[in-house]
Amino acid sequence: MIGLAPDIAVIGAGTMGAGIAQLALEHGHAVRLLDVDAAATQRASDAIRERLSRRLARQGLSGAQFEATLATMLGRLDLGSGPDDAAGADVVIEAIVEDLATKQTLFARLDDVCRADTILATNTSALSIGAIAAAARAHPERVVGLHFFNPAPVMRLVEVVAGAATALAVVEAAAGLVEGWKRSPIRCADRPGFVVNRVNRPFTIQALRAIEAGESTISAIDAAIRDLGFPLGPFELMDLAGIDVNLAAATGVWEGFDRAPRFRPSPIQAALVARGRLGRKSGEGFYRYAADGVRLGPGAEFDAPTTGPAATGTAAAAATAERIRLAIANEAFKALDERLVGDEATIDLALTLGASHPEGPFAWARGRSLPAVVAGLEALAPTEPDAFMPADGLRAAVAEASRAGNRPAIDLRSA
């Protein structure tokens, strides 16, 4: 369907679009980076040049070799303004605003202007691939989800998502393309949030629930999570990714699951976004930042709990961290029950590569012991049944382990 080095068009010159374009350039593709905002494409082009320069320098290139390699890569980058400039591309990857109607309008136009064999991929993190593909009325079978993680030139995971109409050949070609970019593609069903944004939702939601209840502070919770081997705590992560971005993903998953209580976005996030406090990119979110990005400390309202018990110590934060791990493990079992993917290993890989977990939720749960996980969930279930009532598959795994443990040993001497 596509050649060894297909021409790539990337629509959307924001952080993700620029990162995807850079990744394609690094692996030998001609790339057209398109955005209706000409200033955005120029900023993206400048950022790509800077990042490529740093990467080549880290590889030990210098002098004429450095200049020639950089010039070759940048010589394959072309800038454009809109979907019509994607005509002729072999693969189009959309990385625009996370809004279904906007994406549908774009894909309807791409369906008109692109060749029938062009793969049309969306980088959506939570929206339905089938709903986006429906806008490509002539050829919905060539629409596929390719969900990269930020920063795309660094993060190894790509979720490859087939809608109901997506052709198997398109899925195979898309997975092969990103595998050629030295990424790890995982295939998952077209469900809200896919794997990472669905299974890892409790990482931020349960932390926010604790702040809503005045049970701890953001600094204490972040420290407790880092103590478990995570590189960032939930509030640090939201500030880094953008609180608006996290809220959009949370809202998409919540709506996709018919507003299930366990996915309810936090009003704290909504209030911060309404005030323009989006995290590092705006200079303030949960934490405050200097002009050079150095963190100065928590926002004034997050210095200490404002309601509930004044539980600012490590014990309360550790309890929140435990609740987060239990909720993630339970969500992983629910996802497997729903056949989101085929096995535990795929979800564990997704969470370690895509969300930087020190170990996947199944590995963590089995290391803890499944009966202990069930007991921990049951203790929390009265507070939030939708999040903590043990998944059917988890209970079944405990029962199977119990049956296996009770089977009599085979006496080989009498065989």
Is residue 269 helix, strand or coil?
helix
159 assigned to active site: yes
Characterise 411 by phi-psi region: left (phi > 0), alpha (psi -120 to 50), beta (else): beta
Residues 79 and 272: their CA atoms lie apart, in Å, by 34
Catalytic residue, candidates 45, 123, 128, 197: 197
Helix (H) or strand (E) holding 120: strand 119-122
- Nearest C-alpha neighbor of 98 from the set 264, 294, 249, 287: 249
Q: Which two tokens stand for residue 114?
A: 């692109």
Rounded CA separation 361/1 (Å): 36
The Cα 151–Cα 248 span in angstroms is: 18
- Burial code (b: 16+ CB inside 10 Å, e: under 16) for 251-287 equals bbbbbbbeeeebbbbbebbeebbeeebbbbbbbbbbb
Task: Tell me which of 45, 123, 125, 219 is the catalytic residue.
Answer: 125
Q: How far apart are CA 30 and CA 9, in angstroms?
A: 8
414 is catalytic: no
DSSP secondary structure of 62-90: -HHHHHHHHHHHHHTEEEESSGGGGTT-S
- Per DSSP, helices labelled H in 114-155 are 129-133
Sign for the CA dihedral angle at 274, 278, 283, 284 comes to: positive
Token pair for 348: 């564990």
Count of alpha carbons within 13 angstroms of residue 122, beta-carbon side: 37
Asked whether the beta carbons of 144 and 160 are under 8 A apart, the reply is yes
Catalytic residue check, 147? yes
Known catalytic residue at 67: no
Query: Which residues are annotated as catalytic?
Result: 125, 147, 159, 197
